[in-house]
Amino acid sequence: DQQVKQNSPSLSVQEGRISILNCDYTNSMFDYFLWYKKYPAEGPTFLISISSIKDKNEDGRFTVFLNKSAKHLSLHIVPSQPGDSAVYFCAASMTSYDKVIFGPGTSLSVIP
Amino acid sequence: DAGVTQSPTHLIKTRGQQVTLRCSPKSGHDTVSWYQQALGQGPQFIFQYYEEEERQRGNFPDRFSGHQFPNYSSELNVNALLLGDSALYLCASSFSNTEAFFGQGTRLTVV
């Protein structure tokens, strides 16, 4: 049973436009949510996180939104750049130091 | 700071053999977690080590075992390898309640 779901395996966006990556989760005990980015032949790189007491967290071009009632979060990248092309993993844990459960990933392509 | 380093980067083993993968955490980190990433999937949690003890474990058989040393480095051992164990094995380190930093992974192929 997949506890973290990313229903879009891939997404293609024009450079300069907004990229929106979506994630749904099933376990209401999750309290901490993260986004990681992964380039080929590299390990995942931490992007941004949000705890369940917040509904929004912003870091530069990256903003994560959390809707606890819908068990849904999204990552917004504005403006999108070609260097953002990578696989993005949504992840969740019950605490900030607990084991992290990853979704299957969404492959983002930003077209120049 | 070298970050999280893993060795080897690639490995080919025969079914039934045993393998040991190694991980050095980022400087200042005391917690090491191991993940298995199959092709086209997200990383799956194997186990986490803290203070040289296994603190949490995912849904993996006992063929998967690990160890953490006093210098916080860690090993992942897999016995009786199966073809299905072929995957990218990722090590992640963290400190206290900070986010985890990942190594580049070890690509294991079982033939």
- So what's the pLDDT on residue A86? 97
Q: What is the mean pLDDT of chain B?
A: 94
Best A2, A97, A102 residue to mutate vs chain B (most B CBs within 10 Å): A97
Distance CA B2, CA B24 (A): 9
Residue of B nearest to A47 (CA): B99
Share of chain A above pLDDT 90, in %: 89
Check: CB of residue A93 under 8 Å from CB of residue A100: yes
pLDDT tens readout for residues A21-72: 999 999 999 999 999 999 988 899 999 999 999 999 999 999 999 999 999 9
Q: Which of A36, A43, A99 sits opposite B45 (nearest CB)?
A: A99
pLDDT band at A107 (very low <50, low <70, confident <90, very high): very high
Read off φ and ψ for residue B30, nearest 5 degrees: -120, -5
- What does the buried/exposed string (b/e) look like for A25-56 if buried means 16 or more CB atoms within 10 Å of the residue's CB? beeeebbbbbbbbbeeeebbebbbbbeeeeee
Contact at CB, A91 and B42, closer than 8 angstroms: yes
Look at B42 and A89 and tell me if their CB atoms are within 8 Å. Answer: yes
Mean pLDDT of A91-111: 91
Of B50, B53, B6, nearest to B31 by C-alpha is B50
CA atoms within 13 A on the CB side of A14: 2
Instruction: Work out the end-to-end distance of chain A between its first and last CA atoms, rounded to an integer number of angstroms.
Output: 38
- The answer to whether residues B3 and B93 touch, using CB atoms and an 8 Å cutoff, is no
E runs forming strands in chain B: 5-7, 10-13, 19-24, 31-37, 44-50, 53-57, 64-68, 74-78, 87-94, 101-102, 106-110
Identify whether the C-beta of residue A52 lies closer than 8 Å to the C-beta of residue A70.
no
How does pLDDT run across B5-36, given as a tens digit for each residue?
Answer: 999 999 999 999 999 999 999 999 999 999 99
Q: How confident is the model at residue A98 (pLDDT cuts 50, 70, 90)?
A: confident
A15, two tokens = 């450079």
CB A100 to CB B45 under 8 A?
yes
A111, A106, A84, A59 alpha-carbon torsion, rounded to 10°: 130
